[in-house]
Structure 1
């Protein structure tokens, strides 16, 4: 599953927001913020880890999650590319609309 597909789920998106806000959290700390079962939280964390949105390290019996900066940067770069493409399309549309307005104004004279 890719990162965007993993984040399509509201719970997973909220988990990422929570981890981003706190830096690092254990699976237990993450689970305390939701009204779902520990196995459900575990499943969401597994998806986020396998899609490389979150990193996980083990300390004794604890699993500690943090954001995968590389993956987040890759998603950001992709989104910025899409925004750039749309801005280019919108700029082209704006030039076209301005041209039409000028032609109509000239025709009315």
Structure 2
């Protein structure tokens, strides 16, 4: 599953937000923030780990999760490229609208 698909779920988005805010959290600490079962949290964490949005390291019996900055940066770059494409399209539309307005105002004189 790709990172965007993983983040399409509200619970997973909130998990990522929590981990980003706190730096590192154990699966237990993450689970304490939700009213869903531990197996459900584990399933969400597995998806986030497989999609490389979160890192997981084992510390004795604990699983500690942190944000994968490289994956987030890759997502950010993709979003920035889409935003740039839309800005270019909107700039072209703006120029076209201004041209039409100018033509209309010239024709009325």
Match of 1:26 in 2: 26
Compute the displacement of 1:106 (Å).
Answer: 0.2
Match of 1:101 in 2: 101
Compute the displacement of 1:31 (Å).
Answer: 0.1
Match of 2:50 in 1: 50
Count of matched residue positions in the alignment of Structure 1 and Structure 2: 109
TM-score between both structures, scaled by the size of structure 1: 1.00
Match of 2:89 in 1: 89
Runs in 1 of length 4+ with deviation above 3 angstroms? none
TM-score between both structures, scaled by the size of structure 2: 1.00
Match of 1:76 in 2: 76
Ranges in structure 2 where 5+ consecutive residues have no aligned partner: none
CA deviation map 1:41-84 (0-9, x unaligned)? 00000000000000000000000000000000000000000000
- SS for the counterpart of 2:8 is coil
Instruction: Name the CA distance, whole Å, in 2 between partners of 1:49 and 1:108.
Output: 63
Ranges in structure 1 where 5+ consecutive residues have no aligned partner: none
Instruction: Name the CA distance, whole Å, in 2 between partners of 1:73 and 1:64.
Output: 21
Match of 1:67 in 2: 67
Instruction: Name the CA distance, whole Å, in 1 between partners of 2:8 and 2:36.
Output: 18
Q: CA RMSD in A?
A: 0.2
